Amino acid sequence: MILGIDLGTSNSMAAIYKEGQPVLIQSRTGNSIIPSVVGIDENGCFCTGEMAKMRKYSYPEDTVAMFKSSMGTEKVFQIKDKKLKAEELSAILLKGIKEDAEAFLGEEITDVIICVPAFFNNPQRKAVLRAGELAGLKVRRLVNEPTAAAIAYGIQDFKPDENIEEEQKVIIVLDLGGGTFDISVMEMTDHVMEVIAVCGDNHLGGGDFTKRLIDLFLKENSIKEKTTAEEETNLWNQAEKAKCQITKEGRGEIRCVLNQVEYVYHITEAEYEKACMDLLEKIRKLTLKAVKESKYEPEEV
């Protein structure tokens, strides 16, 4: 059995292909979304995922996150008395995902396919391969994330025009993750997909939209006092919930206790969109840049 892993900057996921359908792996805490966080617990043992994320705010010196963008570099991250490179941290995370998958499936996992950003260079890809080896896994293949997205969407199964022997499709894949934004323009000819242009921002993601909501909450309630790590964690979680609420209901609410005072903030989808216009404009400009670099016109995509 081969495990497919999306090793993300903020969150990771894993799945297998069984009986013609993809099956998402649930972690030992029952969630399919696994935070890309590595930590050391009170016993000196490594922990990953949700357990590490929960410790991140109470014991920040014991945890590290957002290390994927440093793959293939010599940057060193400090956790307590340990110094680790991004590929070593990724190996610990991959091992945790492997153990989750084995617990979920009830069988041993040895082989994996890992998704990587299309713009990853050779040293970065080698670092991912090395991380897999350190985790005790055989990496069968690295797949570009936009290619994986297009395949998952089923783009390869679209029927060509019956009057054309071979039809070329031009596809754009937008990947707005927790901490990064990637755009890929792809060509597909006769079921062969090729990335022809990439663009993005390694410092733009869902976290920026959450942060904007928190800033609005603090400004509306005129809050300038410093908050504790626990309060900051709670506020971030409330803002995340409010984002989902805005999507589902067209309006959201943040209710949070800071410095022993309860504050409430309400916002509509239109108000939130207006407040995030500069972030949306960044996304628009980067998308147009990727299309321009592909040599295609927007209407051809």
pLDDT of residue 166: 54
**Count of domains for the chain:** 2
> Looking at residues 176-201, what average pLDDT do you find?
87
pLDDT band at 13 (very low <50, low <70, confident <90, very high): very high
pLDDT of residue 272: 98
Asked if residue 184 belongs to a domain, the reply is: yes
Asked if residue 111 has pLDDT above 80, the reply is yes
192 and 104 within one domain: no
pLDDT of residue 56: 80
261 and 229 within one domain: yes
Lowest mean pLDDT among 60-64, 131-135, 172-176, 239-243: 60-64
Gyration radius (Cα) of the chain, Å? 21
pLDDT of residue 273: 97
pTM of the predicted model, to two decimals?
A: 0.82
pLDDT band at 4 (very low <50, low <70, confident <90, very high): very high
Pick from 111, 177, 184: which is nearest to 150 by CA? 184
pLDDT of residue 119: 82
Asked if residue 157 belongs to a domain, the reply is: no
**pLDDT tens by residue, 247-265:** 999 999 999 999 899 999 9
Asked if residue 89 has pLDDT above 60, the reply is yes
138 and 7 within one domain: yes
Q: Where are the beta strands (DSSP E) in the chain?
A: 2-6, 11-18, 21-24, 34-35, 37-40, 46-48, 63-65, 76-79, 82-85, 111-116, 138-144, 168-176, 181-189, 192-201, 251-258, 261-268
Which has the higher per-residue pLDDT, 19 or 209?
Answer: 209
pLDDT band at 227 (very low <50, low <70, confident <90, very high): confident
Asked if residue 164 has pLDDT above 80, the reply is no
**Alpha-carbon span 14 to 97, nearest angstrom:** 7
pLDDT of residue 20: 84
pLDDT band at 19 (very low <50, low <70, confident <90, very high): confident
> Looking at residues 81-87, what average pLDDT do you find?
94
132 and 176 within one domain: no
182 and 127 within one domain: no
pLDDT band at 162 (very low <50, low <70, confident <90, very high): low
- What is the average pLDDT value for the chain, to the nearest integer? 91
pLDDT of residue 142: 96
CATH of the domain at 49: 3.30.420.40
301 and 215 within one domain: yes
Q: Where are the beta strands (DSSP E) in 205-299?
A: 251-258, 261-268
Asked if residue 110 belongs to a domain, the reply is: yes
CATH of the domain at 180: 3.90.640.10
Asked if residue 215 has pLDDT above 90, the reply is yes
Which has the higher per-residue pLDDT, 158 or 278?
Answer: 278
If you count them, how many residues does the chain have? Answer: 301
pLDDT of residue 200: 86
> Looking at residues 210-224, what average pLDDT do you find?
95
100 and 183 within one domain: no
pLDDT of residue 212: 97
Q: What percent of the chain has pLDDT over 90?
A: 66
Domain hosting 182: range is 169-301
> Looking at residues 274-300, what average pLDDT do you find?
95
pLDDT of residue 123: 95
Pick from 208, 177, 175: which is nearest to 33 by CA? 177
> Looking at residues 202-216, what average pLDDT do you find?
93
> Hey, which residues does 264 pair with through a beta bridge?
255
192 and 109 within one domain: no
Who contacts 21 (Cβ-Cβ below 8 Å, separation ≥6)? none
pLDDT band at 88 (very low <50, low <70, confident <90, very high): very high
